[in-house]
Each structure stands twice: as structure tokens, then as C-alpha cells.
A and B are shown apart, each in its own frame.
Chain A
């Protein structure tokens, strides 16, 4: 690009404190300094993640096993969703740099066009991250399971949907002998997901026995479900929480007995669904904590980046920068926006790939 570092100055200006040794304006320089300090924060977080991962003797989750779902399509698409998120962020970085380029030509219309695209891209990324968090927190239909010998396995396969629940013991709301199903009437009408939701709650708290579980009103129901398909248990840690040398695979009848045996044990904690700050179905608790903190901190940066972009966008619309004679404000917010993309490149590698 033209101009950088080529400005000729006379001795008077050179020694009179009017020259920047970097040939860059004050604002741009300060933005770079801020980005270096922010990069240190993210660098520190990712190194802390690496530190924890290397100290633990428990089985660390694997990216393509943990993140294998797409909206509307279910599971079985390893890494596709994060790839999409990465692509969205790269594209919005490109539209930002195109806005900066248009600014260098004093092309106001071009700046407006590309900044709108960047802001939309930012919102898309935030929406994707919201879905990803929601999915991570709610977890799979199976959760993870503690087997009879105390070892823990993650569960893969297709969960057989609930067809109906027959009330075997009356509670406050549901009366004995009645059936809860998608075809039911009043509060006896429930779709498969809603029935699963009640089941999940009971299984998590150890309120399941003999293929029956307790609903929130105290009634006990017996379930009827479709069969699970391709149920596979991947045993990762032994009874003491240590990682096994080799992951053991349990499939077919054995997997069914082990999994549903644990569900029906009536013990709290045998099945863990999704993630919160104290435990998660994917691996050690620190994994979930780092996931929430690092992707959350990055998401917060994306959010503030979108807000700053919107503010600068209004400045562009009002012609503030055009009158000033240069669009350096767009360049500076662009630096911040690219930095957010840069951080994601590293988060993507260290959280999802390796």
C-alpha cells in the first residue's frame, strides 16, 4: 500500500516532537497496544487450559465426539457446526477489511455496504454461539453413564423416542390408569420431547426404577418407547476417575443392559446430562468451566465488537469521517474486529481440533 513510512519530514518537525517513530496515528497505535494486552489475556487463558489438560489424569473430551450436532439435523456431523461458525467469522472479517479498503478510497457507499454485512455476520456468529451453548448445556439424550464398576462412559447412538406414559400410581395431577401421550387430552397431552424432559429430570435425580419414573406431581408412570438404535458406550475412565489406557467400546445387548441398568438403579449421579459449572457429561469438570469461560469471554468480545461496529456505522452514515477526510475510525474498529477473528482461530484449534 502506498504512503506508509514514506512521508518526508524536515529536521524541524523530526526533532520537534511532531513525528511518530512508527508512522502511525496515536489512535491506531493505542488500539494495537490494547490488542496486545487483550491477546495476553486470551493467551493466558488458553495456556491455563493447556496446563489443566496436561495435569489431569482423567480422559479429556475429544472435539469431534463432543461437537457432532447440527440444528434441525441432529447428531452425526462431527465438527460441521464449529466449521460453519468459523466460516461465518472469517467472512465477516473479510467484509470488514473490504469496508476499510472502501474507506481508503473515500467511498462512503462502499463503507456503508460492507459495514452492514459485517454487523450481520457478527449477529449470525452470536446466534450460532447461543445455539452451541444451549446444546452444550442441555447435552445429548443419553448423557454420560456410570457403570456398575464405577467406570464412566460417554454414550453414542439414536435415542428411542417416548411413545406414551401410563400412570401406575396417582399423584396430584395425573391419575392411575390414565395414559399420557401425544394424542392425549388436556394435561395428558405431551409430545415425545416433553416426556423425555420429565424422564431426564427423574433420571438425573435417580428417580427411575423398573422402567418407571416419578413425575413432578408425585405420580409414577411406566414408559413405552421405541427401541434405541446403534447404542454404543465408550468407556473412558475407571472407577477412580483415571483415564483408561484404551477406550473400551460396549455395543448391542450389553450396552443396552449396562445403560438402562444404570438408569433404573435409582441412584443419583449415575447419569449426567449436558453441562454446568460443577459437572458435565463430556469429561472432567474443568473442561466445562474452561469452555464456558473462554468461549464466553470470546463471545463477549464479539458482542462488544458488534456494538462498536454499530456505533462507528452511525458515524459513517452521518458523514462524520467523510468530513474528517479519512475513515481511520473504521480502520480502528476493524482492527478490533479482526482480533476477535484471530482469537477464534486459536480457540477453534485448541478447543475443537486437538
Chain B
């Protein structure tokens, strides 16, 4: 049974030829950004080694760049940035909170176990 009284949200995303041009320009811009970031990461990964004293900075930069790339993919390619704010935060916030907690608890536990093995042997 087809209901015709429900609002057809699927049509909301339709746009005209001119708007399409703008959208495509944005897509290509994001493509260029993602490619440059990846090339930069590989370049740094090849030149700075893990025994370098600056490795922790490099690691932080890698993680920041990864989150930046993820942001572009989710907000532009997956159009989450164009959805209603309530949907955007409904998807992102609970996930972010849970995963930050999980990372915190797992790494704390891991380092504690590591130090126990270091002290008492394992």
C-alpha cells in the first residue's frame, strides 16, 4: 500500500544545472585536498622514522590529518554537512563520545598491563 500523504524527502536534494556546477566544483576541491593530504602523509612517513625524537609530533599530525580527511568525507562526500543539524549531531556526537571513552579506557589499561609485564616479567 502506497501512502501519498507522507512528505517525499527524497526530492529535497534535487538541484538545478547551475547549482550542480557549484556542487561539482566543491567535490573536485575536496578531492584535491584529500590527495594532497595523503601525499603529504606518505612523504612524511617515508622521511621521518619512528626512532626520531620528533616522532610523537609526527604521530599527532598524522592523527589530526586523518580526522580532517574523515571530516571532509563525512560532511561533503556523505552530505552529512547538508542534512539538518539535528541529524548531523545525532549521528556524530554519540559515536564520538563512545569511541573517545573506548580509546581512553583501552589505552590506559594497555599501558598498565605493559608496565606490569615490564616490572614482573610476562
Contacts and interface: CB of A to CB of B under 8 A. Distances in A.
B106 to A, nearest CB: 4
B95 A104 contact: no
Interface in B82-122: 82-84, 86-87, 90-91, 94-95, 98-99, 102-103, 106-107, 109-111, 113-114, 117-118, 122
Nearest to B22: A1
**9 closest Cβ contacts across the A-B interface?**
A54-B110, A3-B12, A22-B87, A328-B10, A349-B66, A83-B42, A326-B10, A5-B84, A51-B106
Interface in A278-332: 325-326, 328, 331
A105 B42 contact: no
Interface residues of B, number: 67
A105 B15 contact: yes
Given A47-B102, A64-B45, A7 B9 contact: yes
A246 to B, nearest CB: 8
A97 B25 CA distance: 12
B118 A57 contact: yes
Interface of B: 5-17, 19-20, 23-24, 27-28, 31, 34-35, 38-39, 41-42, 45-46, 49-51, 59, 62-63, 65-66, 69-70, 73-74, 76-79, 82-84, 86-87, 90-91, 94-95, 98-99, 102-103, 106-107, 109-111, 113-114, 117-118, 122
Contact of B20 (A23, A101, A326): A101
A62 interface: yes
Given A247-B51, A325-B11, A342 B73 contact: yes
Q: Which of B20, B28, B39, B83 has the most CB of A within 10 A?
A: B83
B84 A342 contact: no
Interface residues of A, number: 76
Interface in A38-80: 39-40, 43-44, 47-48, 50-57, 62-64, 78-80
Contacts of B14: 2-3, 104-106, 326
SS of B interface (majority):
helix
A87 B27 CA distance: 15
16 contacts: A1-B13, A3-B15, A4-B12, A4-B13, A5-B83, A6-B12, A22-B84, A24-B9, A25-B9, A28-B10, A54-B111, A57-B117, A79-B45, A100-B79, A101-B27, A326-B14
Tell me which of B27, B39, B45 has the highest count of chain A C-beta atoms within 10 A of its own C-beta: B45
Max count, chain A CB within 10 A of own CB: residue among B13, B73, B118: B13
A342 B74 contact: yes
Contacts of B113: 55
